[in-house]
Amino acid sequence: MRKAFTLIELVVAVALLAMMISFASLIFDMSIDTHRTAMASAEIMQKLQAITGQLNADFKGHVWNPRGSIFFGTEESEIDGGLVIVRSDCIVFFTKGDFQSTEQYPYVKSGNGEGLKTVSGNVAGVFYGLADANATDPREKVLVRRQTILTSDADLKDLDLDQAGEYYRSSLSELIVDGSFDIDKMMEVRPLDINVPNDLVTYMAEGVDDFTIQFAEWNGLDKLEWLPKKDESEFDKYKVISSNAFKFTFTLYDSKGVLEDGKTFTHIVYLGD
């Protein structure tokens, strides 16, 4: 007689095999989800480091005079299938550093007609804000950083700030004395076109939403307040600001939408006494 599997043994073996395959599939799916989550988190952390690192570098040379300006605004975002009102603030301030234009601009050569040169300077006005891309999807919103170099190079042609150029023909001292400089031109939120070189270099990070700027105000000796409040809707009284600390709060999203709610971060910049 030859020994063989009984029907019961065969059914049990098949059931065990099915359980093993099911567990293996579950573990595989969990591993894939964990990997995707890890990659999404790494992408978000890269964006965070880029944003906070650039903010720290720009504010390191912060100039108090002339003072910058903050605009507090709101816009819509599509979250959980509905439109939600979020903050869309922007800021302009002046800072010292080693600045160079990303392209060359026309200038007058002495006795030799016109040429092209890279514009450089030690002071620039810096703008941070969300691009006006009319996007409601948080993953498509772009945080831009735009710099306007101050230069006293008389050979350079005047550059219209309406064109979002990279330089303004004036020194810092002239800017302080001359009240004709319109800082609102630097504050304008302009459409972003990545096919335009001047726009492409302002592309700070994609997937940035609810960009909120607050400034510190000390009431009394011990009480610190961050203004305006996150849920305020009227901001007019805060247009003229003098503070030595700023809080930036924003939500970052990964490009593939793995982390549906994104991750919210707060970064505080302290300018000293």
Mean pLDDT of 222-228: 82
Q: Are 132 and 110 in contact (CB under 8 A)?
A: no
pLDDT at 270: 92
From CA 251, how far away is CA 208, in angstroms rounded? 6
112 pLDDT higher than 70: no
Sign of CA dihedral 16, 19, 25, 30: negative
Confidence band for 177, pLDDT divided at 50, 70 and 90: low
Q: How does the average pLDDT of the chain come out, rounded? A: 82
pLDDT at 129: 92
Is residue 209 helix, strand or coil? strand
Confidence band for 58, pLDDT divided at 50, 70 and 90: very high
Highest mean pLDDT among 57-61, 132-136, 146-150: 57-61
250 pLDDT higher than 60: yes
From CA 132, how far away is CA 71, in angstroms rounded? 14
Exposure of 224 in the CB half-sphere (CA atoms within 13 A): 9
The rounded percent of the chain whose pLDDT value lies above 90 is 25
